[in-house]
Amino acid sequence: MSRCGDGGIGGTKPYAASGNYISRMSNYCSHCRFDPKKATGDDACPITTLYEDFLSRNRTRLKSNTRMGFQFKNLDRRDDGERRDIRQAAAKLKTEFTRKTYL
């Protein structure tokens, strides 16, 4: 997500990751109550939810990047209802974060 802000000047692929990737590459998630493979539900990983929402919202902008093919292939496995649920869950997470941060 951070690399996407410059329009691709600083890198060819947005530097963003799902909770599952973070879990595999580190021990950051080892004591977390969330399931890094899930984007929706009570035990869904907020990082995965926000990551998949980011991909969905920025698909048009990123689809021509061949390095993003695998990520979009995974996103395409979800049906319309699941993608809608991810958007709603991400909006809720953003609202909760904003309230906690600024109030």
Residue 14: per-residue pLDDT: 63
Task: Output 5 or 78, whichever has higher pLDDT.
Answer: 78
Whole-number pLDDT of residue 63: 86
Q: Are 31 and 24 in contact (CB under 8 A)?
A: no
Residue 44, strand partner residues: 35
> What gap in Å lies between CA 36 and CA 24, rounded to an integer?
9
Domains of the chain: 3-102 (1.10.10.1710)
Q: Which residue has the higher pLDDT, 6 or 84?
A: 84
CA distance 83 to 49: 10
Q: CA–CA separation, 78 vs 64, rounded Å?
A: 20
Q: Does residue 6 register a pLDDT over 70?
A: no
Q: Provide the pLDDT for residue 66.
A: 85
Residues in the chain: 103
Helix (H, G, I), strand (E, B) or coil at 15: coil
Per-residue pLDDT for 94 more than 90? Answer: yes
- In tens, the pLDDT along 42-69 reads 999 999 999 999 999 999 988 888 888 8
* DSSP β-bridge partners for residue 35: 44
- Which tens digits make up the pLDDT trace of 15-40? 788 999 999 999 989 899 999 999 99
